[in-house]
Structure 1
Amino acid sequence: MKKLLLVGLLLLANAVSADHYTPETFEDATKLPQNKLLVLLTEISNCPYCSQIKEQFLGPLSLAAEFGPYITIASINLESSEKLIGFDGKAVTQDKWAQQMMGVDFSPTVLILDPKTGQRLTDDLVGLATPDFYGFYLEQNINKAKQSLAID
């Protein structure tokens, strides 16, 4: 019985840690790995759809052999006045960068960007209207972006 309980607790611990994937905060575009796509989540605080995207899609994607080595996953908060360094090397707040520089004002939005220029490589994934197909659309966009930059 104790062994069964221990196994159950270990499985639960793994499930909990997998359910709380947190991408790194996007802080400095000039320090991004140049050989990896930037998968950027724009989010707001206490957003259940943002959490769902992180836990069900971005977390597993970061671990997948076919995607993990080719992507950097990061996030910014559309409500944050924390500074970041943009692709032009200038400091700007997260909210201003997302809204003024990238034209993003809805959360969650996932952008796939060129790590050198910040140029969009695919259409943005806005919202989470179709969770059943979201992973497919995300993988399709990453594959398209990998081809356009010849990343493999």
Structure 2
Amino acid sequence: MMRSIAAWALILACGLGVAGGAGAAEGLVNAKDFQADARTAAKRRVPILVLFSSPDCPYCDRVKREYLVPMHKDPAYRDRVVIREVTVDAGTPLKGFKGGATTQGEFSADHKVFMVPTVKVFDTQGDPAGDAIVGLLSADYYFGYLENAIDEGVRKVRGK
């Protein structure tokens, strides 16, 4: 446990140093094709974490900058999760988990996301792997909430 906390502190410090003056979204992949993402996740035997965000949301920027961008850039997370971002009100084309054409906004509505930031973890079939993390909640515990959601997704995908 202490090793995990120390590793996260180092990752966070490096991530903040790298992303300090940069836009918060740098380093996150905007969702375009969940069917392809699901194939990648299935090969790695990992879940897909989706951040539902909005461009004018300071809490979304904070979640990206302090948590998800450092995770996305950390090679250790490659074996634990695929991370994507969806803009809740965007008309940006998106291929859903079943291959159907939709938009990021429609995908958000279909998954009942009406508040940002919202983080949902999906299995490789596109089914939710646990409860959503809605809002920033307590910043002191947010990393733990993300870790628990990822762990739950990994258990579901790997059948453990």
| TM-score greater than 0.5 by the shorter chain | yes
Q: Tell me, in whole angstroms, the C-alpha distance in 1 between the residues paired with 2:80 and 2:22.
A: 21
Output the aligned Cα RMSD.
2.3
Match of residue 54 from structure 2: 44
| Among 123, 126, 133, the residue aligned to 2:131 | 123
Instruction: Verify the 8 A CA contact 1:22 1:54 in the aligned structure 2.
Output: no
- TM-score, normalized by length of structure 1? 0.81
Mean Cα deviation higher: 68-77 or 131-140 = 68-77
- Residues 16-35 of structure 1: matches in 2 within 5 Å? 16=20, 20=24, 21-32=26-37, 33=40, 34=42, 35=44
Q: Verify the 8 A CA contact 1:26 1:74 in the aligned structure 2.
A: yes
Q: What residue in structure 2 maps to residue 14 of structure 1?
A: 18
Structure 1, unpaired ranges of 5+: 1-11
Greater shift, 18-27 or 119-128, is seen at 18-27
- Code of the residue aligned with 2:51 in structure 1: it is L
**Total equivalences in the alignment:** 139
In the TM superposition, what is the alpha-carbon distance from 1:104 to its structure 2 partner? Answer: 1.1
Bigger Rg, structure 1 or 2: 1
The verdict on how the C-alpha distance between 1:18 and 1:134 changes in structure 2, with shifts beyond 3 A counting, is farther
Mind listing any 5+ residue stretches in structure 2 that lack a counterpart? 1-15
After superposing on structure 2, the runs of 4+ consecutive aligned residues of structure 1 that deviate more than 4 Å are: none
Superposition deviation, residue 27 in structure 1:
0.7
Deviations 1:26-74 (A, max 9, x none): 1111111123311100011121100110011112222445433221111
C-alpha offsets along residues 111-148 of structure 1, whole Å, 9 cap, x if unaligned? 00012x11000110000121110001110111121112
